[in-house]
């Protein structure tokens, strides 16, 4: 007697795809809005105010959190209750947990709050710049459990050299001089600032 072979097909539904070990892969959620911007204060150790704008594809309920990762180089020390301000600060209980070494700010959704899908959530926080001249960091991401990480485009925590003006002279003497190197001076009679770029003086008037 012959035996008929029967092919049994396994249908996969619910938007899931099978893997070799029998488990399923589910697409992660995304941030439909994820931006970070900073004030233009670029002096060494100067405080900068950062503005985060976020909107998730699904609401993040109380107890959930989002993390900004990669703001390395700041001179702001670890702080478990870094002040959060801005229009939606209450969503995170007006504070977040800052870790200096990894440049990470964890924002936990407060009780009775959520990060909604129908509007942007906007908050601000302040951290200090590095204590040396740097080109800044650009590999900064926004992460949350169950979400794909989003790149927060931009360059942050960049600094320039700071100068202390120790030389003053009357304006006429400054204008008549030709320093050998880049120089900053202040006029003792007008208090104008003079910058010599190696070939000419540039003047910032004290109006």
Output the CA–CA distances (angstroms, integers) from residue 134 to 158, 184, 191, in the order listed. 5, 22, 30
Mean pLDDT by 10 residues, the chain (207 residues): 37 38 71 95 91 98 98 98 98 98 98 98 98 94 97 94 74 87 84 84 81
For the domain that residue 77 is a member of, what is the CATH number?
A: 2.60.40.1170
Domain tally, the chain: 2
Asked if residue 82 belongs to a domain, the reply is yes
Range of the domain at 180: 168-204
Residue 176 is inside which H or E element, if any? helix 171-176
Same domain, 50 and 103: yes
Same domain, residue pair 60 and 128: yes
Query: Do 139 and 38 have their domain in common?
Result: yes
Both 145 and 95 in one domain: the answer is yes
pLDDT attached to residue 12: 33
Is 3 part of a structural domain of the chain? Answer: no
C-alpha dist (Å) from residue 142 to 52, 63, 73, 138, 165: 10, 17, 18, 12, 40
Query: What's CA 91's distance to the chain center, in Å?
Result: 19
Phi/psi-derived region of residue 151, left when phi > 0, alpha when psi is between -120 and 50, beta in every other case: beta
- Dihedral angle over CA of 136, 142, 143, 147, nearest 10: -140
126 shares a domain with 94: yes
* Domain-embedded: residue 173: yes
Q: 48 in a domain, yes or no?
A: yes
Residue 51 has phi, psi (to 5 degrees) of -115, 120
pTM of the model: 0.72
Same domain, 134 and 54: yes
Q: Which two tokens stand for residue 185?
A: 């001076």
Q: Identify whether 129 is part of a domain.
A: yes
């Amino acid at each position: 007697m012959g035996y008929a072979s029967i092919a049994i097909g396994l249908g996969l539904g619910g938007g899931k795809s099978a893997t070799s070990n029998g488990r399923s892969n589910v697409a992660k959620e995304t941030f439909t809005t994820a931006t970070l911007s900073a004030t233009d204060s670029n002096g060494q150790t100067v405080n900068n105010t950062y503005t985060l704008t976020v909107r998730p594809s699904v609401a993040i309920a109380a107890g959930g959190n989002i993390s900004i990762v990669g703001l390395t180089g700041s001179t702001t020390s670890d702080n478990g209750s870094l002040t959060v301000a801005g229009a939606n600060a209450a969503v995170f209980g007006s504070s977040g947990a800052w870790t200096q070494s990894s440049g990470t700010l964890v924002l936990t959704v407060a009780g009775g709050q959520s990060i909604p899908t129908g509007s942007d959530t906007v908050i601000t926080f302040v951290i200090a710049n590095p204590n040396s001249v740097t080109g800044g960091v650009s590999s900064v991401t926004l992460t949350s459990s169950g979400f794909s990480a989003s790149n927060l485009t931009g360059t942050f925590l960049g600094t320039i050299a700071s100068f202390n003006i120790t030389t003053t002279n009357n304006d006429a003497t400054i204008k008549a001089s030709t320093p050998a190197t880049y120089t900053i001076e202040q006029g003792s009679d007008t208090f104008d600032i003079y910058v010599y770029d190696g070939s000419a003086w540039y003047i910032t008037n004290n109006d």
